[in-house]
């Protein structure tokens, strides 16, 4: 497994594997989210200069990645807050996810296999909706949600495992009638990338290691992004694009 610690190394090391999914290779680890975002921005260079472009990052871990992309593409950055619906007692296992606008995506087969009924799902959803609302207020302050109709929207996260939160984000954004939805991640499970392509998004992923296991394994530094860091990066972006406030 190759460990590429610089933007030049990443740019020289990649080659095209699957043109439809825009997956590149070889498998490597990223030093941190910032450098992953810089590498991903290179793969998104064709979007630079579009007046309708906006980068929406999934907090918290997607925001440092998205900030680097927005900076490189000269595009505004905002958050798109989604929340995973974790399995009771095993919260790291995603039953589904929720997104703004009342969107809920549920893995019904997984829920049935664990005997999770609608009443339990509704309780989990209610709890996570409260956290979603809290984070939207915390990150956005008095800024309204951006207009997405007719725009090219790049949805960014630090990686895709099951993809439940990204699926919810794609579903919610699609309802806003954008011109194009692009899902951009540094690393992801190949089957998840393929599933999102079938959801109607253009998927750009730098590496799809197999076996995948977990997103954090493909970073040297995968320390938790804090709420303060998210807020700071959004404020810095908003200063560059005051019209998006």
Mean predicted lDDT score pLDDT of the chain:
87
Report d(CA 134, CA 174) in Å as an integer: 23
Average pLDDT, stretch 116-141?
93
| Count of structural domains, the chain | 1
- According to the model, what pLDDT value does residue 62 have? 98
Condensed to tens digits (0 to 9), the pLDDT of residues 66-116 reads 999 999 999 999 999 999 999 998 888 889 999 998 999 999 999 999 999
Residue 121 in this model has a pLDDT that exceeds 60:
yes
- According to the model, what pLDDT value does residue 27 have? 62
Condensed to tens digits (0 to 9), the pLDDT of residues 19-48 reads 445 655 556 789 999 999 999 999 999 999
The residue with tokens 């799902």 is: 121
Residue 233 in this model has a pLDDT that exceeds 70:
yes
Percent composition of the chain: helix, strand, coil (DSSP 3-state, to 5): 40, 25, 35
Which pTM does this prediction carry? 0.86
Report d(CA 76, CA 66) in Å as an integer: 10
- According to the model, what pLDDT value does residue 2 have? 31
Domain extent, residue 8, equals 2-82+89-244
- According to the model, what pLDDT value does residue 55 have? 98
Domain CATH for 98 = 3.40.50.2020
* 175: exposed, middle or buried (Cβ count in 10 Å: 0-12, 13-18, 19+): middle
Per DSSP, 162 falls in state S
Average pLDDT, stretch 184-188?
96
| Helices assigned H by DSSP within the chain | 7-13, 33-43, 62-73, 108-113, 118-140, 164-174, 190-198, 227-240
| 8 A C-beta contact, residue 182 and residue 153 | yes
């Amino acid at each position: 497994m190759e460990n590429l610690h610089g933007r030049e190394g990443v740019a020289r090391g990649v080659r095209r594997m699957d043109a439809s999914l825009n997956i590149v290779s070889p498998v490597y680890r990223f030093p941190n989210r910032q450098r992953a975002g810089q590498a991903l921005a290179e793969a998104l260079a064709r979007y630079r200069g579009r007046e309708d472009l906006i980068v929406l990052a999934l907090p918290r871990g997607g925001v440092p990645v998205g900030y680097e992309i927005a900076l490189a593409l000269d595009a505004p950055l905002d958050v798109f807050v989604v929340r995973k619906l974790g399995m009771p007692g095993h919260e790291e296992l995603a039953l589904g996810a929720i997104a703004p606008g009342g969107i809920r995506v549920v893995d019904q087969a997984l829920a049935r296999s664990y005997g999770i009924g609608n009443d339990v799902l509704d309780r989990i959803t209610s709890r996570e909706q409260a956290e979603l609302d809290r984070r939207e207020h915390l990150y956005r302050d008095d800024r309204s949600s951006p207009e997405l109709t007719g725009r090219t929207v790049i949805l960014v996260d630090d990686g895709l495992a099951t993809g439940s939160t990204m699926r919810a984000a794609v579903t919610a954004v699609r309802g806003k009638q954008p011109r194009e939805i692009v899902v951009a991640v540094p690393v992801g499970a190949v089957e998840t990338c393929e599933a999102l392509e079938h959801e109607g998004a253009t998927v750009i992923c730098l590496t799809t290691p197999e076996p995948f296991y977990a997103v954090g394994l493909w970073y040297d530094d995968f320390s938790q992004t804090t709420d303060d860091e998210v807020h700071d990066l959004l404020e810095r972006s908003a200063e560059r694009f005051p019209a998006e406030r």
